[in-house]
């Protein structure tokens, strides 16, 4: 590319997603967790979720989503400079899941690494990738792929109604590359609240409490969450994060056309939305069909909306993730502005 780097900014050129074939309705989850299907729907807004097949791991979902995004953008893997995977359910503790994805994509020139900010992970990875790409937008490899992927079916206690009813498996991805100034990612806000780290987590399996027969027998390898505390955290901190980002970007809430949040819990999102005051924005929710897919939920919802023709050139999108750590990530972007004739990119 010959365009001067100063006249370009990182933006989304393509989107993709992948959902496992296995559909798990509320009736199946309810029977295991000792609740009813009606209870799940009322408490979460979820009707069904997907569980990966036994032969599938996080990297498999991530590769499929990334391939779809690359095809959509019309970008070949050898042009990628970066492969970032946001996940809290990696294939294994090491090496990074992103290394497997990079190899299987054939992204031979890309550096690859994982980011774990739990359900905020995709936003953290998106912002990181955009900042890494910014100096390279006028070079031969000005592209990166950012993937959010999680397999929560492998870490939930299916008898625990506080978590088993909420989570499923899935992955979403975006291709980042050069777009005209005024488009692309125009602002972001990442925040961590480590004082609340105990709200969400898995106690065993790391260096502090290594996995053992004892930890498995006591269920310490399962994902646990303090549901009420998490809800109170989101209700207090997410509106403040959104207001902070919009103020920093000089954007009024009335100028936001689309809101794509982490699909944590449909009932919780319904309750918190009025506090965001996004009166003009169309909120994109896929939680009823996809459930909470961790770091995969924001890019899954983004791809679903994009493929449904929701976005027009120049639309302002607000993305928001929140999750363990605790952490909140928000990003504001203007849709369109591509500088390359990518056959898959549509307004």
- Taking the domains of the chain in order of start, what are their residue ranges? 1-340+343-347
pLDDT of residue 340: 59
With respect to CATH, is domain 1-340+343-347 assigned 1.10.800.10? no
CA distances (Å), 259 to each of 142, 185, 227, 254, 330, in order? 27, 14, 23, 12, 10
Q: What CA–CA distance (Å, rounded) separates 327 from 245?
A: 15
pLDDT of residue 254: 95
pTM for this entry: 0.93
Residue 101 near residue 85 (C-beta atoms within 8 A)? yes
Give the model confidence (pLDDT) of 18-48 as tens digits: 999 999 999 999 999 999 999 999 999 999 9
Give φ, ψ of 255 to 5 degrees: -90, -5
Residue 83 near residue 111 (C-beta atoms within 8 A)? yes
pLDDT of residue 8: 86
Comparing CA positions, the residue from 110, 57, 114, 107 lying closest to residue 85 is 114
Look-up of token digits 């492969």: 83
- Show the tokens assigned to 186: 């125009």
Q: Is the pLDDT of residue 6 over 70?
A: no
Tell me, yes or no, if 55 is annotated catalytic. no
Q: Is the pLDDT of residue 290 over 70?
A: yes
Tell me, yes or no, if 26 is annotated catalytic. no
pLDDT of residue 343: 41
Interval 150-177 mean pLDDT: 95
- Show the tokens assigned to 334: 């203007």
Q: Is the pLDDT of residue 218 over 90?
A: no
Give φ, ψ of 166 to 5 degrees: -95, -30
pLDDT of residue 130: 96
Instruction: Find the catalytic residue in 26, 116, 221, 262.
Output: 262
Percent of the chain whose predicted confidence (pLDDT) is above 70: 96
Tell me, yes or no, if 292 is annotated catalytic. yes
Comparing CA positions, the residue from 9, 3, 4, 340 lying closest to residue 182 is 9
Task: Note if the bond before 316 is cis, omega within 30 degrees.
Answer: no
- Show the tokens assigned to 289: 């069909």
Instruction: Find the catalytic residue in 26, 119, 265, 284.
Output: 119
Give the model confidence (pLDDT) of 170-211 as tens digits: 999 999 999 998 999 999 999 999 999 998 998 888 889 898
pLDDT of residue 2: 34
Task: Note if the bond before 91 is cis, omega within 30 degrees.
Answer: no
pLDDT of residue 99: 98
- Show the tokens assigned to 199: 């709200």
Q: Is the pLDDT of residue 1 over 70?
A: no
Q: What is the mean pLDDT of the chain?
A: 92
Q: Is the pLDDT of residue 328 over 50?
A: yes
Give the model confidence (pLDDT) of 120-144 as tens digits: 999 999 999 999 998 877 777 899 9
pLDDT of residue 204: 82
Burial of 251 (0-12, 13-18, 19+ CB in 10 A): middle
């Amino acid at each position: 590319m010959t365009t001067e780097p100063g006249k370009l900014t990182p933006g989304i050129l393509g989107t993709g997603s992948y959902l496992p074939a296995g559909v798990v309705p509320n009736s199946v989850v309810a029977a295991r967790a000792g609740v009813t299907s009606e209870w799940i729907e009322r408490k979460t807004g979820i009707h069904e979720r997907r569980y990966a097949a036994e032969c599938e791991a996080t990297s498999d979902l991530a590769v499929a989503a990334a391939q779809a995004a690359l095809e959509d953008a019309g970008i070949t893997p050898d042009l990628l400079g970066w492969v970032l995977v946001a996940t809290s359910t990696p294939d294994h503790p090491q090496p990074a899941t992103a290394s497997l994805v990079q190899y299987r994509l054939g992204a031979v020139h890309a550096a690859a690494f994982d980011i774990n900010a739990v359900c905020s992970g995709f936003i953290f990875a998106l912002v990181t990738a955009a900042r890494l790409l910014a100096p390279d937008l006028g070079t031969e490899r000005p592209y990166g792929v950012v993937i959010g992927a999680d397999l929560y079916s492998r870490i939930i206690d299916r008898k625990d109604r506080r978590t088993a009813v909420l989570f499923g498996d899935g992955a979403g991805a975006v291709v980042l590359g050069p777009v005209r100034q005024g488009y692309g990612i125009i602002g972001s806000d990442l925040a961590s609240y480590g004082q609340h780290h105990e709200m969400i987590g898995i106690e065993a399996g790391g260096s502090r409490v290594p996995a053992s027969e004892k930890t498995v027998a006591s269920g310490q390898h399962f994902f646990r969450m303090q549901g009420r505390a998490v809800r109170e955290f989101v209700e207090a901190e997410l509106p403040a994060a959104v207001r902070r980002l919009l103020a920093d970007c000089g954007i009024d809430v009335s100028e936001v056309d689309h809101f794509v949040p982490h699909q944590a819990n449909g009932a919780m999102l319904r309750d918190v939305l009025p506090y965001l005051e996004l009166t003009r924005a169309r909120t994109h929710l896929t939680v009823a069909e996809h459930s909470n897919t961790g770091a995969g939920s924001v890019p899954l919802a983004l791809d679903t909306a994009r493929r449904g023709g929701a976005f027009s050139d120049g639309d302002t999108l607000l993305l928001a993730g929140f999750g363990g750590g605790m952490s909140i990530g928000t990003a504001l972007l203007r849709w369109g502005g591509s500088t390359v004739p990518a056959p898959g990119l549509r307004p």
